[in-house]
A and B are shown apart, each in its own frame.
Chain A
């Protein structure tokens, strides 16, 4: 009961979706279309678990006055502020049938002045991290590391004057070695092949893992009896 039925469900759902790829007839076609919506709905129910867990962790911190408990108040306040603004459609002019993130709504305002800048600043940290990672990782320690270094360096200096002055003096028969031609070649040849091999490998890995799941061989996620 605790393991057999779940394994049967996985088997049936996986098989139906694969069959639907080759049989465009109902009921398979219909199930294929509906299953992804089913999945979305289940994920929304799961939000209750996730959100509940987040609240429990932070309220616990506050209650027990653990390290950094004051910041947990910020999390909980932000959570409820956003949740109520969105669920109650505060500030939405068209009432309950209006767009919950329409212009003038509190939800959109909060999104614009907190979520958006926080998210894009976090994203922009990458500009700093690509620099520190390049400095640390691109060192010619082995042949492999040297190839990584050279490919990255050629592509990296391509848009700079340095890229131009490094190779502009090459005589005509060697012009194919200029940074700009070299970077074009690296992008079009080794880069393309590398991506292709990785994609073929990944596809096989995913097909095999999917099969293991459908056949119930890989079942760690189900827990014990």
Chain B
């Protein structure tokens, strides 16, 4: 009996942990990964892996349209998505066409060019491997027009040079010329518009990434209308992980989303552990009470 009593109080104690201990562990769980720059590798979920596999399946020379439909406000979430797809496309020898439905988009594209393309892929030639076509107003109306006639809207690149100068623009008559449309979005116009006005009517594969806030509204389009989706920081980190598995050289390079996910993962695990602890002790206590009755 005495033995039982001691055990009981232990279980009871575990069922009523002082909240300050929880607070302390949460603080540590967030602080430590930040201090040691811990990066996690989160296995890609199906919705992300499908998108990765789609890019992986494209033959060299395929055309990928990346639409920068976001601004500085959501940069922490969106920029890593643009970085990963760019790295992946160039590894596979695909061609990248950048456009933007948001006036704030070209700035983000420039950031990508200066931060990733120029330093990491010096061998890739502007106009042959990639091109920046800039921003055009119109949202869904623009997409609609591009679907039937791309060159009606884009006669020059972002710097005002005629597209005829660029070999990679030859044969781009409509959106149907692209093998994948990849929208990095954060609202309207964005992923939904690309799916509804380009993907669905033109039967063009559409994928992309969006912020965590927008993601739940886009899940219903998967897998019928969208190839895959990166939801928030987590989706971005999963793509980084998938890229790293396939191309190990990225293990040593900056993986922004994965770094930011470090504190997230450890903190989530702490919470999950406490939920499990609470339930296990609850069940044990209940069983003991029943026995006693």
A and B directly contacting (CB within 8 A):
yes
Q: Is the CB of A184 within 8 A of B274?
A: no
For window 137-191 of chain A, which residues contact chain B by CB distance below 8 Å?
138-141, 149, 152-153, 156-162, 164, 168, 175, 178, 180-181, 184, 187-188, 191
Q: Is the CB of A138 within 8 A of B42?
A: no
Q: A128-B27, A132-B23 are in contact. Are A149 and B275 (CB under 8 A)?
A: yes
The distance from the CB of A148 to the nearest CB of chain B, in whole angstroms, is: 11
Docked complex Cα distance between A15 and B267 (Å) = 51
Q: A138-B278, A162-B272 are in contact. Are A180 and B219 (CB under 8 A)?
A: no
The distance from the CB of B63 to the nearest CB of chain A, in whole angstroms, is: 29
CB of A135 closer than 8 Å to a CB of B: yes
Docked complex Cα distance between A52 and B131 (Å) = 61
Q: Is the CB of B45 within 8 A of A180?
A: yes
Contact partners of B22 in chain A: CB under 8 A: 128, 131-132, 135
Query: DSSP majority for the A interface?
Result: helix
CB of B34 closer than 8 Å to a CB of A: no
Among B23, B234, B282, the residue within 8 A (CB) of A131 is B23
Among B25, B219, B283, the residue within 8 A (CB) of A184 is B219
What does the 1/0 interface line of A209-220 toward B look like (CB < 8 Å)?
000000000000
Per the CB 8 Å criterion, the residue count for chain B at the interface is: 36
Contact partners of B19 in chain A: CB under 8 A: 132, 135
CB of A134 closer than 8 Å to a CB of B: yes
CB of B104 closer than 8 Å to a CB of A: no
Contact partners of B45 in chain A: CB under 8 A: 158, 178, 180-181
In the complex formed, the residue of B with least CB distance to A128 is B23
Docked complex Cα distance between A63 and B220 (Å) = 63
CB of B288 closer than 8 Å to a CB of A: no
What is the interface of chain A, defined by CB distance below 8 A to chain B?
127-128, 130-132, 134-136, 138-141, 149, 152-153, 156-162, 164, 168, 175, 178, 180-181, 184, 187-188, 191-192
A131-B26, A159-B264, A161-B43 known; 9 new pairs, CB 8 Å cut-off, are A127-B26, A132-B23, A138-B279, A153-B275, A157-B272, A159-B237, A160-B265, A178-B46, A188-B219
